[in-house]
Structure 1
Amino acid sequence: MINIGVLALQGAVREHVKALQAPDVQVTVVKKVEQLHDIDGLVFPGGESTTMRRLINLYGFYEPLKAFAEKNRPIFGTCAGAILMANEIVGQMEPHLSVMDMTVERNAFGRQRESFEANLAMDQIGEDVEAVFIRAPIINKVGPSVNVLASYDGDIVAAQQGPFLACSFHPELTDDHRMHQFFVKMVREQAIHA
């Protein structure tokens, strides 16, 4: 049995919890720093990255989250969660948690009214993964240790670097849970080797 947390400061927490549920997976809604000690992997849901960072600071999560990442515990960031993970953000002086070697551009697909859905061919996951883009960022560039998993119209929208997984879209807002299953597999493999 593995335990995967969903950081519950903002965003579609309930939808991620539902998408992660499996017989051998315990899902923890993470509201307190102490809960990080009991989980094997963590999801950063979408939301608004600046607000999420403010809440991370306010509730004392910043250093514990950095420590969690430094122990190579798997983290999956969706939309704003991917922005939190990037080591460079276009138009912003400082990154947030800086755990993935990638540059992201916020709201790259436009505002709320430009939201859309698409089917993506995703390396290791499937040829027709459902993706919902809402004020989505794009991954402008990645370092040599980052594996690009999916692109849309030539822009990178999903990537993996070791135990870290990020996507520009909201897989939790569809009934297609293959990305979450992929993350569960990552967490399980990391837990075996820990």
Structure 2
Amino acid sequence: MTIAVLAVQGAFIEHEKKLEHLGADCIELRRAEDLNQHYDGIVLPGGESTVQGKLMKELGMFDIIKSQIKNSMPVLATCAGMILLADKLEAESKVHLQTIPMTVKRNAYGRQLGSFHTNATIKGIGEVPMTFIRAPYVSQVSDEVEILSVVEERIVAVRYQKQIALAFHPELDNDLRIHEMFLSLCK
């Protein structure tokens, strides 16, 4: 199984290490030509969503990735990746891929000093460690979006079709179960 990891900015290497540990091959998406390779799923990593969205457009990757996701390509999106998938952003007009019918609040926990770590339950997995760094959260979902986790009364993980979007960074903790769940969607 081959997983494509958006590698234009952000925490992509940590995802690659987790996925390779689980037996997947990883390729990095850095330019439009990279999208011509075969892959079974995409990771949209944490980082700066505005920069990632801008670079995907400038590098000619945006429309292809959006089309792949809309045509059922499995996706694991963390932090900034969650923002990229949202069809609405709270108090903002600029949106990106718009593939999950949800509203996301960017930097919802404040600046870097608002970062924190906790353990909470993910539906279908159980309790997992969660590291939040300048994290967003989901403020609203449509009926078709499955809520996977809520922390402090805020939605921090959702699944929609073959898309998993997380407000936290599973690639920064030792638990592999979220990446395993994603790979099961890619089979």
Q: TM-score range by the shorter chain?
A: over 0.9
Q: CA deviation at 1:94?
A: 3.3
Structure 1 runs, 4 residues or longer, greater than 3 Å off = none
Determine the C-alpha separation between the residues in 2 that align with 1:6 and 1:118: 26
Q: Which amino acid aligns with 1:83?
A: I
Relative to the length of structure 2, the TM-score reads 0.96
- How many corresponding residue pairs? 186
Identity of aligned pairs, percent?
38
State the Cα distance separating 1:109 from its structure 2 match.
Answer: 0.9
**Unpaired runs of at least 5, structure 1:** 189-194
Q: Is the contact made by 1:4 and 1:27 (CA closer than 8 Å) also made in structure 2? A: yes
Question: In the TM superposition, what whole-angstrom CA distance separates every residue of 1:153-179 from its partner, at most 9, and x where no partner exists?
Answer: 110000000111100001101111211
Work out the CA distance in 2 between the residues paired with 1:5 and 1:158. 21
Q: Distance in 1 between matches of 2:83 and 2:44?
A: 10
Structure-1-length-normalised TM-score: 0.92
| 1:126-177 superposed Cα distances (whole Å, 9 cap, x missing partner) | 2x21110000001001111100000101100000001111000011011112
What is the root-mean-square deviation in Å for CA atoms of aligned residues? 1.2
Partner residue of 1:26?
25
Task: Confirm or deny that 1:169 pairs with 2:160.
Answer: no
Q: Which residue in the other structure is 1:108 paired with?
A: 108
In structure 2, how many angstroms separate the alpha carbons of the residues matched to 1:112 and 1:145? 32
Which residue matches 1:191? none
Cα distance between partner residues in 1 of 2:8 and 2:176: 22
Answer yes or no: is the 8 Å Cα contact 1:36–1:68 preserved in 2: no
Aligned to 2:45: 45
User: Structure 1 residues 183 and 71, CA, compared in 2 at 3 Å: closer, same or farther?
Assistant: same
Quick check: 1:83–1:137 contact (8 Å CA) kept in 2? yes
